[in-house]
C-alpha cells in the first residue's frame, strides 16, 4: 500500500512551505530518519526526514514549488517488496493548484474516526518523541508538538495509517482547520496597493522568497497597527572600546572575541532588568510583563533577515553572549536555524553601525514592544571630563509600542542603557 509523504509543519504556526530541494529520486530506498528533502520556511531551510521505510514511488511536486499547504502529499512511498509504477516527472504547481490538490486528498481519504480521549495518567516525560532510543510511530509534526508541549507519545494510540500518531491524536486544534471564533469573522485589513513598474524603464522582476514575503507582511502589519514612538540617546563609546580591547587581549587564548554588538546586547538586557516596565508585550486587554530578557538580534542573510534569540541575556557573561551570538549568526547564514533558535524574544536589537550608518529608526518586530537600533561610533567634539575634546559617539534609537510603554518609562530605559554603555564596568557586574 502506498504511503503518503506530507508537507510537514516545521513550527506550530507554519501553514505553507516551499519545497526547496529533493534529496531522493524515484526508486530510492529510504529508511526512517533519512533526510529526503529540504523545506524552506519563513525563517530557515530545514530538513525533512522520512518516517517510514520503503522506496520512493513518486515525487508529486518539483523543486522550487512555493506555498505547498501543510498536510499536502508531496511524495509517495511503496512498502518493502511492493512494485512501483513509473511516474511522470514531478509537476511545479501553482499555490491554488496545491490547495485544490489538498482538498482532493482530503475528500478522497476515508474519514478518520474520532480519537478516543487519552486516559488520565501521570504524564511520561517526552522531549524528542523517542523512548529507550527508539522513535515512536508518529508523524514529524506530532513529534515536534509533543516535544514542545511536553506530551507523552508512548501513552497515545495513533489514528493515522498503520497506527501512526498524528496531530489530531494529541488533542490539539488542527492547523489546517482552526476553530471558528468571533475574531475569525473580522474582516482582514485591506492590503496595500501594488503597482506595476513604470513603462519604458529597464527592470528585472524577481520572485519573492517565502522569507521576504513574510518580512513584508509582518513589518507592514507592524507599521499599520502598532503606534511607534522613538527616543534617541548619544553615548560616549570610548570607555567601552578601551575595556573591549583589554578583555579581548585576555580572552584571545580561549578563542573568544568580543564585538561592540555583544556589549550592546548585554547593555540592552541590563537596562530591561533595571526598568522592567519596558520589558513588556501588549496583549489586548492584558499587559504581559517578562521577568527575564530574551534578546532577538537581527542577522542579515541572503534574501532577508532573521532574528535568533539569546535567552536570559542579562544573566550571561559577555564571553557567553559572544559565543552564542557568533554561533547563532553562523547558523542563520547557513540556513540551519531551528524554531527553538528564533521563536520568542522579549525585545530586539538591530545594529547597522558596521555599515557606517549614523542613526536608524527600526520597525518593531511584533508581538514585541521594543526594538533598539544601533548606529556607528563617530568621532566628534564632545565634553569629556569638563573639557571639549574628540570622542567616539554612538547613536542609539529605540522604537516603542505606545500601547504598552509610556514615554516616561521609555525615557528611564534609555537613560539606563546610556549609563551602562558609558560606564561599561557596570555591564560586568
Q: Name the burial class of residue 292, with classes exposed (0-12), middle (13-18) and buried (19+) by CB atoms within 10 angstroms of its CB.
A: middle
What does the pLDDT read at residue 242? 96
All three cell numbers of 184, joined, read 475569525
Same domain, 313 and 375: yes
- CATH number of the domain enclosing 150: 2.40.50.100
Question: Could you tell me if residue 187 is inside a domain?
Answer: no
All three cell numbers of 73, joined, read 502529499
Same domain, 164 and 217: no
- CATH number of the domain enclosing 424: 3.30.559.10
Q: Distance between CA 151 and CA 381 in Å, rounded?
A: 60
Rounded to 5°, the CA angle 294-297-303 comes to: 140
At 77, give phi and psi (nearest 5°). -125, 145
- The residue annotated as part of the active site, out of 333, 402, 403, 412, is 402
Q: Which residue has the higher pLDDT, 163 or 295?
A: 295
Q: What is the mean pLDDT of residues 227-255?
A: 95
Domain count, the chain: 2
Instruction: Identify any residues that bridge with 161 across adjacent strands, giving them in sequence order.
Output: none
At 271, give phi and psi (nearest 5°). -65, -35
What does the pLDDT read at residue 131? 43
Q: What is the mean pLDDT of residues 231-244?
A: 97
Structural domain of 14: 3-170
Question: Could you tell me if residue 185 is inside a domain?
Answer: no
Same domain, 351 and 285: yes
Q: Which residue has the higher pLDDT, 262 or 195?
A: 262
H or E stretch including 168? none
pLDDT of 382 strictly over 80: yes
Q: Which residue has the higher pLDDT, 312 or 176?
A: 312
All three cell numbers of 409, joined, read 518609562
Q: What is the pLDDT of residues 178-215, one digit of tens each?
A: 445 544 444 555 556 788 899 999 999 988 888 888 88
What does the pLDDT read at residue 321? 96
Decide if 402 is catalytic. Answer: yes
DSSP-derived 3-state class of residue 16: strand
Banded pLDDT at 102 (limits 50, 70, 90): low
What does the pLDDT read at residue 3? 83
β-bridge pairing 347-351 and 295-297? parallel
Banded pLDDT at 411 (limits 50, 70, 90): very high
At 67, give phi and psi (nearest 5°). 55, 45
- pTM here is 0.66
Amino acid at each position: 500500500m502506498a504511503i503518503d509523504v506530507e508537507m510537514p509543519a516545521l513550527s506550530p504556526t507554519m501553514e505553507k512551505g516551499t519545497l526547496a530541494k529533493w534529496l531522493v529520486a524515484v526508486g530510492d530506498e529510504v529508511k526512517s530518519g533519512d533526510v529526503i528533502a529540504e523545506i524552506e520556511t519563513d525563517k530557515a531551510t530545514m530538513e525533512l526526514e522520512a518516517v517510514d521505510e520503503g522506496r520512493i514511488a513518486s515525487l508529486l511536486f518539483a523543486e522550487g514549488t512555493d506555498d505547498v499547504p501543510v498536510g499536502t502529499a508531496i511524495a509517495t512511498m511503496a512498502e518493502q517488496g511492493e512494485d512501483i509504477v513509473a511516474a511522470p516527472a514531478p509537476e511545479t504547481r501553482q499555490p491554488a493548484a496545491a490547495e485544490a490538490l489538498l482538498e482532493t486528498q482530503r475528500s478522497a481519504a476515508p474519514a478518520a474516526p474520532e480519537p478516543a480521549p487519552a486516559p488520565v495518567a501521570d504524564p511520561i516525560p517526552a522531549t524528542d518523541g523517542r523512548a529507550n532510543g527508539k522513535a515512536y510511530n508518529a508523524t514529524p509534526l506530532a513529534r515536534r508538538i509533543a516535544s514542545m508541549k511536553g506530551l507523552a507519545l508512548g501513552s497515545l494510540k495513533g489514528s493515522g495509517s498503520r497506527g501512526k500518531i498524528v496531530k489530531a491524536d494529541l488533542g490539539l486544534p488542527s492547523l489546517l482547520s482552526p476553530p471558528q471564533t468571533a475574531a475569525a469573522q473580522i474582516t482582514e485589513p485591506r492590503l496595500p496597493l501594488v503597482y506595476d513598474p513604470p513603462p519604458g524603464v529597464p527592470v528585472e522582476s524577481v520572485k519573492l522568497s517565502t522569507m521576504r514575503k513574510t518580512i513584508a507582511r509582518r513589518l507592514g502589519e507592524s507599521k499599520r497597527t502598532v503606534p511607534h514612538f522613538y527616543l534617541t540617546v548619544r553615548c560616549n563609546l570610548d570607555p567601552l572600546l578601551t575595556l573591549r580591547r583589554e578583555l579581548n587581549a585576555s580572552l584571545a587564548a580561549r578563542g573568544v572575541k568580543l564585538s561592540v554588538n555583544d556589549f550592546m546586547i548585554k547593555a540592552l538586557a541590563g537596562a530591561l532588568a533595571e526598568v522592567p516596565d519596558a520589558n513588556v508585550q501588549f496583549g489586548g486587554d492584558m499587559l504581559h510583563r517578562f521577568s527575564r530578557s530574551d534578546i532577538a538580534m537581527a542577522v542579515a542573510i541572503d534574501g532577508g533577515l532573521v532574528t535568533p534569540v539569546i535567552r536570559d541575556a542579562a544573566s550571561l557573561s559577555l564571553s557567553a553572549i559572544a559565543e552564542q551570538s557568533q554561533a547563532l549568526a553562523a547558523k542563520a547564514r547557513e540556513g540551519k536555524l531551528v524554531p527553538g533558535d528564533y521563536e520568542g524574544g522579549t525585545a530586539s536589537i538591530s545594529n547597522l553601525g558596521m555599515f557606517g550608518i549614523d542613526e536608524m529608526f527600526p520597525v518593531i518586530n511584533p508581538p514585541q514592544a521594543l526594538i533598539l537600533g544601533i548606529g556607528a561610533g563617530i568621532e566628534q567634539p564632545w565634553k569629556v571630563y569638563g573639557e571639549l575634546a574628540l570622542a567616539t559617539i554612538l547613536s542609539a534609537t529605540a522604537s516603542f509600542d505606545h500601547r504598552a510603554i509610556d514615554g516616561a518609562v521609555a525615557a528611564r530605559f534609555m537613560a539606563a542603557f546610556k549609563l551602562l554603555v558609558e560606564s561599561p564596568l557596570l555591564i560586568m557586574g
